[in-house]
A = this chain, B = another copy of it.
Amino acid sequence: MNFLQEEIIKKARVLNEDVLKVDSFLNHQVDPSIMSKIGKSFAEHFKDKAITKVITVETSGIYPALFTAQELGVPLLVCKKSNSFVLSQDYYCTDVFSFTHGNLYHMIASKKYISDDDNFLIIDDFLATGEATKGIVTIIEHTNAKIAGVGICIEKTFQNGRKELNKIGMKNIYSLVKIKSLNNNTLTFE
Residues of B within 8 A of A66 (CB): 30, 32, 35, 62-63, 66
Binary contact track A82-109/B, C-beta < 8 Å → 1, others 0: 0100000000000000000000000001
By CB atoms of chain B within 10 A, which of A32, A76, A110 has the most? A32
- The residue on B at minimum CB distance from A103 is B83
How far does the alpha carbon of A28 sit from the alpha carbon of B57 in the complex, in Å? Answer: 10
Q: How many copies does the complex hold?
A: 2
**Interface residues contributed by chain A, number (CB under 8 Å):** 30
Residues of B within 8 A of A30 (CB): 66, 69, 75-78
Interchain CB contact under 8 A, B78 and A32: no
Residues of A with Cβ closer than 8 Å to B? 23-25, 28-33, 35-36, 58-59, 62-63, 66-67, 69-70, 73, 75-78, 80, 83, 109-110, 112-113
